[in-house]
Amino acid sequence: MGKVTVIKIGGNVIDNPEALKRFLGSFAQLPDDNVLIHGGGKVATQVAEKLGVQTTMVDGRRITDRPMLDVVTMVYGGLVNKQIVAQLQALGTNAIGLTGADGGTVLAHKRPVKEIDYGFVGDIEEVNSGQLQAFIRQDLTPVYAPLTYDREGNILNTNADTMASAIAVDLAAHNEVTLVYCFEKKGVLSNPDDDQSVIAELTPSVYAEYKASGAINKGMIPKLDNAFRALDKGVSKVIICHADELALAVASGAGTTLTQSV
């Protein structure tokens, strides 16, 4: 059984060229096989404004109508993805930039309309990890933009945290998989205003307590929900850490490690 580390890098790091450079330097030095999934950051909003495309957000989530779908496809799958791939090549990592449509690796369907119509947003149906592992066997490092595809031939804007979790779970059927979420905080915090209040280990029961108290809230909740589901479905370990501490987190522990029990 091989070892694979699936790493998701957040949009706030993508928006900071120096932070992204440091992260990619660490990523390029990691052992074993690795898969990178990146967020989109604010670049899509900036490009949309230049093109006269309106940006609409609901509870921090982008409404992806047809004009915005064109923008995120260009920005996430093109500009951001290929800049990351080029930097990794310069660091000696033979990266291949992908969306879920490439090689048919991540199939999704358009999210059903309920209270809110999110537009062309994808909910993942399945991951073709066989094709993904074929890339890895060719000594290629997959770098995924947060885009999937559906059976009707549409590209779909897809949450990068969810995409990382789905890829990790499917790879876990034949590999020992560590899932790492890197962002601008040192881990999951017991006090959102204190960056030193890192919770070293988080179990489902402790997570429930912090949610009830309001200490863990907003965007951290879907991230952690995805993480615990990944553990339930076979992923060996989930780590949430600062992008600058990636190497330490993978090697010996930094940030917050999620476990099923104490």
User: Which residues line the annotated binding site?
Assistant: 40-41, 62, 157
Amino acid identity at 102: D
Known binding positions for substrate: 40-41, 62, 157
Q: How far is CA 64 from CA 14, 41, 180, 202, 244, in A?
A: 20, 15, 27, 33, 31
What tokens were used for 195?
Answer: 């960056």
| Sequence-ordered strand ranges (E) for the chain | 2-9, 33-38, 57-58, 61-62, 95-98, 106-110, 122-127, 141-144, 147-149, 155-157, 175-183, 201-202, 237-242, 256-258
Under DSSP, is residue 131 helix (H, G, I), strand (E, B) or coil? helix
